[in-house]
Structure 1
Amino acid sequence: MPKTPRTRTNDPEAMRRKVLDVAEEAFQAKGYHATSLGDLMQGAGVTGGALHHHFPTKKAIGLAVIRERVAGAVEDTWIRPIEAAPSARQGVKDVFTSVADQLDRQGFVRGCPLNNLAHELSLADPEFRAALADVLARWRGALADKIRSDQQAGREEDTDPERFAVLVVATYSGAMAMAKTMQDAGPLRMCGVAAH
């Protein structure tokens, strides 16, 4: 009787995604430092060997969360909507409103994933700081580019693109910190209106 080929029952890429899902959630809920590798293994349902196959260290998991998940969230929440908006200011207002609406539906505010990790990790390690700075630079760059596009269309002549970008990111970061502390999306709504 011929042997039937064994089918692979595990999916390494799905396992890696599951670890990142659990890590992303845990880092936002508890913080990077308060999350142990044991927490991640238990949450993802993986062994230590499987975890270390994909991520040799906890730091590697943290960097992957920043580079893949946090950067992806900024891309989805900010960069694509700003690029598609009719103007930079309208895009900023729309993002603030959209995020506030989402938080209202969610019923709680954990804060901005980028902010949360930046506050916790920027001084802890230069690689974390560089990864977080890369995400911030991409976000600021998209905002500044949209102002430049508006200027080419004859709008925003008196607006400095780089200053506008820094102001928007700082305003959003502060509004999210206030919303998290107050457990109320109101600061985001107010800042969205003021940005327009």
Structure 2
Amino acid sequence: MSETASDGRRKRSYNPEGTRRRLLDVAAEAFQSRGYQATGMHELMREAGVTGGALYHHFPTKKALGLAVIRDRVAAEVAETWIEPVRTAPDALDGIAGVFSRIAEGLRRRGAVSGCPLNNLVLELALADPAFRQAMEAVFDAWRAAIAARLRTDQEAGRLAVADADELAAFIVAAYSGAMAQAKARQEAAPLEACARQLMRCLEGLRTGA
């Protein structure tokens, strides 16, 4: 192979953003399956297939990697599974019911429950470092704010009775988080499904029929 061809191949394979994404994917999976504290940087380097120089170029410390996982992966998962479905549903209650239904169906299909990614990290890291706690609370803030905003839209349209949207959003997020913790403990979707039924009975009482 000529020197020119070899140089071209090296240039094409140099993909810093792809390396960063791969590291985040591997770390996010490891933190959920093994826990943040139990996962070592050398393990992540090996599993991602990167050099130590590449790992530490993107994430100088394990804490930097953990914060990036929360901000780039956990926040994105909450947005994909909760925020967007509720925002784009015909109304807030249909969106919330749909989220519970899809997640419960996924748990039944997989036959295993790894839990809510945000919850898992909160339980492990909330007291470990203020930066972790702030990053995770920011994800919760965005989650609650999105639900509250959609509830207010339906209230303003006359589809829902007037109620404190912020408190309702906190109630919905807490119900889901607690149900997922129970589902993880039992390794089955039943607690999530039971919670969804009772939660929706409460929320359906707010419909005005408009």
**What is residue 4 of structure 1 aligned with on the other side?**
4
Task: Please identify, of 185-194 and 77-86, the stretch whose mean Cα deviation from structure 2 is larger.
Answer: 185-194
Question: Is the 8 Å Cα contact of residues 33 and 114 (structure 2) preserved in structure 1?
Answer: yes
Native 8 Å contact 1:147 1:161 kept in 2: yes
Shift of 1:21: 0.9
Structure 1 residue 169 and structure 2 residue 173: aligned? yes
Query: Which whole-Å CA distance do the structure 1 matches of 2:40 and 2:137 have between them?
Result: 25
| Correspondence for 2:126 among 114, 122, 125 | 122
**How do 1:1-196 and structure 2 match up within 5 A?**
4=4, 6-7=7-8, 8=11, 9-196=13-200
Counterpart code for 2:70:
I
Residue type of the partner of 1:86?
P
Equivalent pair of 1:92/1:195 in contact (CA under 8 Å): no
TM-superposed deviation, 1:104: 1.2
- Unaligned ranges ≥5, structure 2: 201-210
Please list every run of 5 or more consecutive structure 1 residues that lacks an aligned counterpart in the other structure: none
- Give the TM-score, by structure 1 length: 0.95
Once residues 94 and 107 of structure 2 are traced to their aligned partners in structure 1, the CA distance between those partners, rounded to angstroms, is: 20
Percent identity reads 53
* Partners of 2:175 and 2:199 within 8 A in 1: no
Please, which moves more after superposition, 184-193 or 172-181?
A: 184-193
Q: Check 1:11–1:94 CA distance in 2 against 1; reply closer, same or farther (3 A cut).
A: same
Deviation at 1:102, TM superposition (A): 0.9
Asked if 2 retains the 8 angstrom alpha-carbon contact of 1:175 and 1:191, the reply is yes
